[in-house]
Amino acid sequence: MLISNYFNRNFSLTFPIGILTINILGSFIISLIMGAMYLKVDSGGIKFLPFLITGFLGGFTTFSSFSLETLYLFQEGRVTQSISYVALIMIGCLIGVYIGAVLV
């Protein structure tokens, strides 16, 4: 929520770009880490990876914040924006994962 709050405080946005950015970036980073593990590149040890992927990055990419911001958009009557937000998160995260996999 820190990054989301930063965007909300410092930019006059009517669209929740902070969580969108976090989720896409998190998907990209997870893909890089998993790709490195798949290629057996030294990525900090097998015991560290579950913590990094599910712990840190799982907490970084927050489905609950995404859900809450989508609900706020619906409650404010911005149905088209809420649907666009859901679509952008899904498509953006898939693109982030794909780009990370291609880079590895």
Task: Answer whether 4's CB lies under 8 Å from 18's CB.
Answer: yes
For the segment 73-89, what is each residue's pLDDT rounded down to a tens digit?
A: 999 999 999 999 999 99
Say how many domains are in the chain. Answer: 1
Give the CA distances from residue 50 to residues 29, 56, 77, 103, in Å, rounded to whole numbers and listed in that order: 14, 9, 40, 21
| In-domain check, residue 77 | yes
Give the CA distances from residue 96 to residues 54, 62, 72, in Å, rounded to whole numbers and listed in that order: 17, 16, 25
| In-domain check, residue 9 | no
For the segment 16-53, what is each residue's pLDDT rounded down to a tens digit?
A: 888 888 888 888 988 888 777 766 655 455 666 666 67
Domain span at residue 64 reads 18-103
